[in-house]
Amino acid sequence: MMTKKKLQVETIIITSKANSFLNVNEILKYRDLIFLLVSRDFKVFYKQTILGPFWYILQPLLNSAVFTVIFGKIASMPTDEIPPFIFYMSGTILWSYFSSSMMSISQVFTTNKDLFSKVYFPRLAVPIANVIINYLQFFIQFVILILFIIYFYFNGSSFSLDIKLLLIPLLLLQLSLISIGFGCLFASITYKYKDLALLLGFGMQLWMFVSPVIYPMSMISDKYIYFYILNPVSSIIENFRYVLFSNSDFNLGLTLLSLFFSIIIFIFGLYIFNKVEKKFMDTI
């Protein structure tokens, strides 16, 4: 076996101090691993299931149908003149993207401890792979949403899908920053305090109700609006609907604030994650 002479020799220095918290070069080096982790999770998810990828479609459809009946018909909550089914579906798929990436990232240490205790790779590869696999899920659901919008369009509702659609990836990216930030933060706590994982499941449900998933922001009185400013997810959902339906005015202030909070959360989460990943093997 011949090996090529390497021009560059890697040098690693191991000390008790943590590395710089976001080593982009190292993560790029492991991009094939991220890709393979995504494809592993995708394949494993469907092996030995009856419905396969239909699970991704079924879940938002059922959710939206139930919301339409309960909140739309029974409680008669306003939907900014958007057909209720579409309104709820748009909120649901975005929220389920956020919530499922949060949940999987927050358990990254517990689910991967066997792997983490035997081999080194940048631990952040796993949260990134989690985010990407959820992109796939979102993409499938988004296509279904578009199909429904087209269906409703031909049935008399008015929609104006335009160039703004190109902003959706940016919104998703912002949502991923929050889910990586919060997810990593929770992962760094739940590996030690296992009961917090239960709290998180419950907390995500509560969070959904304080985010404009099943109601529009226009319904919120000015008294509570400050509370929504603190919740960075609300602006993302609102902007997502703005991009799709142009139902309200674009709120630049809220967007910038939300962007600011997202970045703060992302940096803080990574900082804690990086501190913990070095020593979690000794305490798990």
Which spans of this chain sit near another protein (rule: CB under 8 A)? 1-3, 9-16, 18, 29-30, 32-33, 35-37, 39-40, 43-44, 47-48, 114-121, 189, 192-193, 195-196, 278-279, 281-283
CB of 89 to another protein, least distance (A): 31
Nearer of residues 128 and 175 to another protein, judged by Cβ: 128
**Dihedral class, residue 17 (left if φ above 0, else alpha if ψ from -120 to 50, else beta):** beta
Nearer of residues 121 and 152 to another protein, judged by Cβ: 121
Nearer of residues 32 and 162 to another protein, judged by Cβ: 32
Could you tell me which of 224, 231, 279 has the C-alpha nearest to residue 254? Answer: 231
Could you tell me which of 276, 16, 284, 282 has the C-alpha nearest to residue 123? Answer: 276
Which two three-digit tokens encode residue 250?
Answer: 């674009």
Tell me the C-alpha distance between 89 and 126, whole Å: 28
Phi then psi dihedrals of residue 193, to 5 deg: -110, 95
Which two three-digit tokens encode residue 119?
Answer: 């081999």
**In which element (H, E) is residue 61 found?**
helix 54-67
Phi then psi dihedrals of residue 70, to 5 deg: -75, -55
Which two three-digit tokens encode residue 89?
Answer: 């579906």
CB of 47 to another protein, least distance (A): 5
Nearer of residues 13 and 166 to another protein, judged by Cβ: 13
CB of 116 to another protein, least distance (A): 7
Nearer of residues 64 and 274 to another protein, judged by Cβ: 274
Which two three-digit tokens encode residue 175?
Answer: 């949502």
Nearer of residues 39 and 218 to another protein, judged by Cβ: 39
CB of 205 to another protein, least distance (A): 20
CB of 34 to another protein, least distance (A): 9
CB of 275 to another protein, least distance (A): 10
Tell me the C-alpha distance between 82 and 247, whole Å: 8
